[in-house]
Amino acid sequence: MAEPELGAAAALLTEARQIVDAELERCANRLAAEVAGPLGEALAYALRSPGKRVRPALVIAAYRAAGGRSDAIAGIATAVEVVHTYSLVHDDLPCMDNDDMRRGRPTIHRAFDPAIATRVGYLLVPVAAEELARAAERLELSPAATGALALELFEAGGIRGMVGGQWLDLEAEHRRLSMAELITVHRGKTGALIRAAAALGGIAARAEPAVLNALRGYGEEIGLAFQVADDVLDATGTTEELGKRAGRDVALAKSTYVSVLGVDAARREAIRHQELAVAELADVSLVSESLVALARYIVMRPS
Ligand code: GRG
């Protein structure tokens, strides 16, 4: 992490972690009190899991880049992290990727059981919606802007985004995908939520349409860069470094950027998307060291 941009990204991720983890802790305590027994404990366990908080950092950086200044952006960043968290819970289930380790800890169905993990996944969907609605109120957004926030997040989390991408990904196991098919899978499965994170920051800051489109374009490119880097890490990292089992793509016979392009060309592809992302910002003269730093971090990250 010698590059100055990576230092700036690390500082932003630390800030995002502090801000969002406090909100997640509040949610975890509320749910553990409201939902009796192991299900309440599992909900709290899921919300307390230590991720990198890349998506919250993107929300916050995009919000500030578009001129936003309120602390209430924390609630929007939390809503995105909750969507990401429940997607990981379901992704790890035995009927999906069947993973036993995530974020350095046993997955929810391992720590509890698959029925509880399934419930945790869908019970967190309305938690994300509540967080978003409360934050929109605190940000004093208009009904139209609040609707736009909800549409951006839940469209990205739905069949036209994450759920649709996951579905295609599962269908594609044991089949060799073309580059075009691979991009379609990952634009939905991973890219849509990352794109939404950048756009949500813009909507919350009442960005003008050109700036909002640039943030979406930036998010689209780093969303793809994120997945290319993820494929490279799965092929080259260790289980200890990643906090999740390495080498799962080969074990599940998945087509990835690495299986289609090889490691070196995949790394170059990630950098190409990083550069396209930064160019989207430059096109509308949007100056944000944080967004540039996060784009760099996404391709250079160690886990
Ligand atoms: C429960 C309604 C509902 C939907 C779930 C399972 C599913 C639908 C979608 C899977 C989406 C998914 C898990 C995509 C992978 C994205 C990815 C590369 C995750 C890793 O993100 P990091 O590295 O993880 O940011 P941390 O742990 O740091 O947050």
Region at 47 (left for phi over 0; alpha for psi -120 to 50; beta for the rest): alpha
Angle between helices 209-236 and 289-300 (to 10 degrees): 20
Q: From the CB of 56, is ligand 1 less than 6 Å away?
A: no
Burial of 37 (0-12, 13-18, 19+ CB in 10 A): exposed
Half-sphere exposure of 290 (CA within 13 A, CB side): 22
- State which residues of the chain have pLDDT below 50: none
**Dist. CA 297 → ligand 1 center (Å):** 18
| Pocket perturbation via mutation, ligand 1, pick of 48, 84, 95 by most ligand atoms within 8 A of CB | 84
pLDDT of residue 2: 61
CA distance 295 to 191: 13
Please report, in angstroms and rounded to a whole number, the separation of the first and last CA atoms in the chain: 12
Q: From the CB of 166, is ligand 1 less than 6 Å away?
A: yes
**Dist. CA 201 → ligand 1 center (Å):** 20
Residue nearest to atom 17 of ligand 1 (CA): 190
- What CA dihedral angle connects 15, 294, 125 and 257, to 10 degrees? -150
Q: From the CB of 91, is ligand 1 less than 6 Å away?
A: yes
Residue whose token pair is 């919606």:
129
pLDDT of residue 174: 81
Q: From the CB of 107, is ligand 1 less than 6 Å away?
A: no
For domain 3-300, give the CATH number. Answer: 1.10.600.10
pLDDT of residue 4: 77
List CB contacts of 270: < 8 A, sequence separation 6 or more. 225, 228, 229, 232, 298, 299
C-alpha distances in Å from residue 156, one per residue of 3, 57, 98, 159, 280: 32, 18, 24, 8, 20
CA distance 121 to 118: 5
Residue pair 295/222 in contact (Cβ under 8 Å)? The answer is: yes
pTM here? Answer: 0.97
